[in-house]
Amino acid sequence: MTEHKVDDIRTPLFAALGAGDFAFEAVTEVIEKLRAAATEASTDLQGKVTEAQAKVSEVRGTAEAKLTEAKDALPKDVDELRTKFSPEELRKVAAAYIQVATEIYESLAERGESTFERIKAQPVVEDATEQATKAYNSAVELTESSLGQVATATRQVGERAAKLVGRTADEAADTVEAAAAKVDEASAE
C-alpha cells in the first residue's frame, strides 16, 4: 500500500523537479546571454542607448496604437467568436490545449526523473543513501533483538508465575485436606 502511495506522488514530484531543472537551465542561459550583452554593450554603450531610446519611443507609439485598436476590436471579436464556433468546436480547441499541457507536464516529469537519477548517481548522494540504508538495517536488527529479549523475559516470568501458582495450589490443597481431616476427627468424637 505504501508503494502505491509513493507511485501516486512520484510523477508530480518528478514533474516539479523537472520544472525546477528547466527553470534553472533557462535562468542560466539568460544570465549567460545578459553577460555577453553587457560585455558587448560596454564597448559601444552610448550609441546603443541612443538607438534603444529611439526604438522604445517608436515601439511605444506603435504599441499604444495597437492596444487602442485591439481594445476597440475586442468586443466585436468576442461576439464574432461566439457566433463562429459551436460548443463542440470550442471543446475540440480546449482538448488540443489540454493535450499540449499534458505533453509539457509529461516532458517535465521525464526531465525531473532524469535529473533525479543524475543527482542520485552523485557520490555524495550514493554515500548518504548507503549510510541511511546501514542505519535502517541496524535499527531493524536492534528492534528484532530487543523484541526477542522481551519475549524471552516474558516467557520466563510466565513460567515462574505458573510454578508459584502450582506451589500455592498444592499448599492450598494440603491445607484443605488437613482441615478436612480435622473436621472428620472432630465430628467422629
- CA 53 to the chain's CA centroid: 48
For residue range 18-46, list pLDDT tens digits in order.
888 888 888 888 888 877 776 775 665 55
Return the C-alpha cell found at 81: 467568436
> pTM of the entire structure?
0.40
19 neighbors 117 (Cβ within 8 angstroms): no
Q: State mean pLDDT over 161-180.
A: 78
109 neighbors 18 (Cβ within 8 angstroms): yes
Other CB atoms within a 10 A radius of the CB of residue 172 amount to 10
pLDDT for 38 equals 67
Question: Is residue 123 over pLDDT 60?
Answer: yes
Q: How far is residue 50's CA from residue 165's CA, in Å, rounded to a whole number?
A: 106
For residue range 74-97, list pLDDT tens digits in order.
556 556 666 677 778 778 878 888
**Amino acid at site 19:** A
